[in-house]
Structure 1
Amino acid sequence: MPISEEASGKKRLVVKKLFARQQHEGFGAVVRRSIGRFELRYFDPFLVLDEFSVTAPAGFPDHPHRGWFSLSNILNGEILHEDCEGHKGVIRQGGLQWMTAGKGIVHSEMPSSNATGTTQNKGLQLWINLSSKHKLVMPSYQEIESKDIAEAEKKGVKVRIIAGEWNGVKSKICTRTPTMYLDFTLSPGSKISQHIPLHWNAFVYVLQGHGHFGDARSQHSTAAAAHHLLLLGLGGDRLEAWNGSDSGLPLRFILVGGEPIGEPVVQFGPFVMNTQEEIDQTIDDFENFSNGFEKARHWKSQAASDLGLF
């Protein structure tokens, strides 16, 4: 029987709090990286969490990946995605794209032609590791428009169920690495008590407002505002969070959890494998357009070509 968001049990407390500072990535893009930086290289199974902001013509032109999958969650604006396999589409505000890079992909993520030079295209991108048995699967996509994302509301709490379920409402997304991803908005005075599988790693990232996370009935709570990542400790099966702000502003945050893979991780930029030998082979495959990168030999994205980047 599914456990509801009101499940009882020991509470998870915050064991580490990080502020995601701005840094430059890609072509003129700005990101706030919280996972994948020197203080937090890896949080099994999570490799990278970026809160990004791009204004045309900035973006993330043609680049490769292998060995993991990503979620792009567009908060504002539109992002055009193109890849060497021939997949092309626009991820619009509120929309999602789960991309399994698997065996190999070369792709581009740039503001769409509808985005002007004044539009700030913002979003979150999460990289999630794949187990060794799935690292070389064929690339694939799951894409959902904002209107088709499962949502629920109860007692001042609104939830977008991106992966997993909340209060009996389930996401349409299937993930090879078991994952939950819930986008909460809490009105002032509202509270959640959210179940998390006991042995999963989990974290919170605050997008808007100011909230408290931990145990509402004791002194063991952590206050956090926008752009803060909160790592949750193990030993409990639920998180309490509440909006105690007197400003009248909502609190928005994501709660993400995943089943640890427990395998060695060797990363070289956009390639994530289990051994150095596999990384060396991946670099060789990419440089020689082989074993998954064949279609990248003569491919350039239209967005990068229009900008004269390649």
Structure 2
Amino acid sequence: MTEKAVIAIVGAGLVGSGWALVFARAGYEVRIFDPDAAVRERVLPWATASAKELAEAGLLADDETVMQRLSVCATLAEAVEDAGYIQESVFETVEVKSNACRAIDAAMRSDAIVGSSSSGIPASRFTEACRNRGRFLIAHPVNPPHLVPVVELVPAPWTDEDAMAETQRLMTEVGQVPVSLTREIDGFILNRLQGALLNEAWALYDEGYASLEDIDATVAHGLGLRWSFMGPFETIDLNAPGGITDYAARLGGMYHDMAAKRVPGPWPQETIRKAGEERRQVLPQSDLATRRAWRDAALTRLAAFKKSSGLGP
């Protein structure tokens, strides 16, 4: 990939539009395509407002210049034909991703790289039939990617090593934090970690130990404060006088016993219904979009603080 190659975004929903800002603010020309005309019409107004918020928080020097790098294309071929890197962010089913990747494959440069925003489906399930399949891999972000920088890079068995290396270089350059897996696993790293926490949270709620509000508070005002700038291994390394091995000696048995007594199963439907009712009493369905905007504004301020404090990428 040449320096400042054109970047293409295929799929312009919440994740894809966030990716567009990631690359544009790093100086790349970004071409955006979505098969839904209504989605295409919403991209630039959303990006304009979001870029302004980033600039006001000190995370962008010039939001107007960033917006000049974004363009929306009427066809997929127009978006990808000159792109050195393509970020696919379509709806997450094997069928939809397979169709999208075959269409990208037919129109892309043979030396381009395609990163999929798949959050848990390995690339081997939807890229095998692509003629350029060695150029496809997973590049899974956290939503919204322009505010949460980690991105998981996961190769299919046939992904070229240089495609992985170049994607890692690109993600670092544009301000993301690439995490490279050695091979495929369902859910990758982030959602497997999140899934373990969610399974326990659902079980504690189902068994009546605490309310949704109190379980959320435990993470938001407890675990999450440390986890916003350090991971679980560093956390426990600092939480025992002798470091990580000391922590394991002191508490490893307790964690083993808790895990041994817990056999995760499907989340109970009645518990899900109850949780949904409890959440809707706190936050009506009609207010979800407003609360997402509040979340993004809070993440923007947090990102600005981490950057100013030397805690960001």
For Structure 1 versus Structure 2, the TM-score category normalised by the shorter chain is under 0.3
Larger proportion of helix: 2
> Scaled by the length of structure 2, what TM-score is found?
0.25
Larger proportion of strand: 1
Query: Relative contact order, CA 8 A, sep 6+: which one is greater?
Result: 1
> Scaled by the length of structure 1, what TM-score is found?
0.26
